[in-house]
Amino acid sequence: MASALGRLSRLSVLRNGRTAPVAPLSGPGRTTTQRRTAVCSSSGAILPKPKKTPFGLFRIALVVVPFLYVGTLISKSFAALLEEHDIFVPEDDDDDD
């Protein structure tokens, strides 16, 4: 029954070119993001392509590399702190069997 209702709602969206109104999600701590699912207007005209923000490899590296470096510095200093207080010190076992 639920799948039939889902198919019916998708069919009406395709036929009308717009989505049915959904209950408002306004309130404290909630943000709404606008999303366009229609590809044509009510008159049948094709809507222009939405603006696309390019995310290149350079932009990804610009974010990942500094945070990766800061993470390694934090973990290195924390490991030194643990070893200094003898909380976690690896044992030097000589296995010369």
Q: Quick check: is 67 in a domain?
A: yes
pLDDT (0 to 100) of residue 75: 97
Burial of residue 21 (CB within 10 Å: 0-12, 13-18, 19+) is: exposed
Q: Is the pLDDT of residue 84 over 60?
A: yes
Q: Is the pLDDT of residue 31 over 90?
A: no
Distance separating alpha carbons of residues 50 and 35, to the nearest angstrom: 10
Q: Quick check: is 17 in a domain?
A: no
Q: Which distant-in-sequence residues (6+ apart) come within 8 Å of 46 by Cβ?
A: 39, 40
Q: Quick check: is 4 in a domain?
A: no
> Domain range spanning residue 81?
53-87
pLDDT (0 to 100) of residue 4: 63
Q: Quick check: is 12 in a domain?
A: no
Q: Quick check: is 83 in a domain?
A: yes
Q: Quick check: is 92 in a domain?
A: no
Q: Quick check: is 69 in a domain?
A: yes
Q: Which percentage of the chain shows pLDDT scores above 90?
A: 27
Q: Quick check: is 59 in a domain?
A: yes
The domain tally of the chain equals 1
pLDDT (0 to 100) of residue 91: 77
Provide mean pLDDT across the span 48-61: 83
